[in-house]
Amino acid sequence: MSSHSILASSRIAVLGYGSQGRAHALNLRDSGLDVVVGLRPNGPTSHKAKADGFTVLEPAEAVRGADLVAVLTPDMVQPALYREAIEPNIKSGAALLFAHGFNVHFGQINPRSDIDVILVAPKGPGALVRTEYERGRGVPCIWAVHQDASGQAEAKTKAYADGIGGGRAMIIKTDFKEETETDLFGEQAVLCGGASELVIAGFETLVEAGYQPEIAYYEVMHELKLIVDLFYEGGLSKMLDFVSETAQYGDYVSGPRVVDAGVKARMKDVLTDIQDGTFARNWTAEYAAGLPNYKRLKQADLDHPIEQVGAKLRARMPWLQPNTAPAAVAPLKKAG
C-alpha cells in the first residue's frame, strides 16, 4: 500500500489557487489522488485551474463532497471563508487542513468538534514545491494535528504531505502554536522586517556620509543575495569558506556591534507580542479597518531612495529579467 493510501479513495478540495494552492493541487493529482478546486467563478485563478484540467466548483460546493479540505487562501480571508463555505458544508469526520496555523491558533477560526484539524506546511515557495516534485524529489514539510475527530488525523496528515512530495524529503512534527509563532517571528525579526531594516539603515548610513547612492545600493542590497545563497546552501560554514579573510574578520568584530544584545532583547519583545496575541489582534483590526497603516507604511518603503536608485540599476542588469528584450535606459547621473 502506498503511503498516501488512506486518501486513495478520498476527494480532496483545494481552496485557493495561488502559488501554494496550484502546487499542492497538481502534486496531489499527479500522486493519483482525486482533487477538485474551490474558487469564486470567473476569477483569474479559476481560469488557470480550468486550464490545468481541474474541476472548479464554488467553495461551498467543493467542500460539500470532500473528505479533506485544504485551505490555501490568504490568512485574512480564511475566517469568512470558514463561516460561509466550510462550516455549514464540511461533513462529519472530514479533515480541515491548513498550511499556516494563524487563524486556528489565534481563535479567528474555531473549527467544529466533529472534524479533523491538521496542518502541512512545505518549507519552500509553491514554485519549488512543484518543480521538486516534477524532478522526483520533494520539499521538506512540517506537519501537525490540532484536533483528531476521526482517529485517523495523523495518517491523513502524513498522507497529504506524501501526496505533495514532502515524504520524499523529510517531514517534521510540530504543533499549531510552534508553527504559527516561529513563522511570524522569522518574518518579522529576520527575513522581512529585520533584513529590510538592516539594508535600509546601511544604505542611509553610507549616503549620509557622502558616498554615491549607486555604490551604497550595490554594497548593502545587491550583494546580500550572494551571502544569503551561501547561507541557504551551507549555513555559516559555507559563507565563511567563500568570503575573504578580511570580510571574515570584519564579520567577527563588527557584526556584534551592530546586532548587539539590545537587538536580541527587542527580538524577544517582538516574540512576546506574537505569543500573547498582540500582533494577531493588531493585524486583524488593521485588516478590518481597510489597511490604512499597512498602505501608508508600504508606500513609505516603495518611496524610499533605495528603491529609486535600485530601479535604475536593475534596468542595467539584464540577467535579472532573462526573458525580456534589452530596454533603452537613461544614463545615470554622474556623481559630482
Active site residue ranges: 100
Task: Evaluate whether 217 touches 313 at the Cβ level (below 8 Å).
Answer: yes
Distance CA 243, CA 251 (A): 10
Q: Which three cell numbers stand for residue 54?
A: 481541474
Match 476527494 to its residue by C-alpha cell.
Answer: 11
For residue 233, say whether it is annotated as part of any ligand binding site: no
Task: Evaluate whether 23 touches 164 at the Cβ level (below 8 Å).
Answer: yes
CB atoms within 10 A of CB 124: 18
For residue 157, say whether it is annotated as part of any ligand binding site: no
CA atoms within 13 A on the CB side of 96: 28
**Spatial CB neighbours of 197, under 8 Å, sequence gap ≥ 6:** none
Cα-based angle 281, 286, 290 (whole degrees, multiple of 5): 150
For residue 17, say whether it is annotated as part of any ligand binding site: yes
For residue 82, say whether it is annotated as part of any ligand binding site: no
For residue 210, say whether it is annotated as part of any ligand binding site: no
For residue 248, say whether it is annotated as part of any ligand binding site: no
DSSP output for 2-51: -TTGGGTT-EEEEE--SHHHHHHHHHHHHTT-EEEEE--TTSHHHHHHHH
For residue 187, say whether it is annotated as part of any ligand binding site: yes
- CA torsion 65-20-281-68 (nearest 10°) is 20
Q: Which of 65, 28, 179 is nearest to 118 (CA)?
A: 179
For residue 208, say whether it is annotated as part of any ligand binding site: no
**Spatial CB neighbours of 193, under 8 Å, sequence gap ≥ 6:** 187
For residue 45, say whether it is annotated as part of any ligand binding site: yes
For residue 219, say whether it is annotated as part of any ligand binding site: yes
From the CA atom positions of the chain, what is the Rg in Å?
Answer: 23
For residue 179, say whether it is annotated as part of any ligand binding site: no
For residue 18, say whether it is annotated as part of any ligand binding site: yes
Binding site residue list for NADP(+): 17-20, 40, 45, 126
Binding site residue list for substrate: 244
Binding site residue list: 17-20, 40, 45, 126, 183, 187, 219, 223, 244
Binding site residue list for Mg(2+): 183, 187, 219, 223
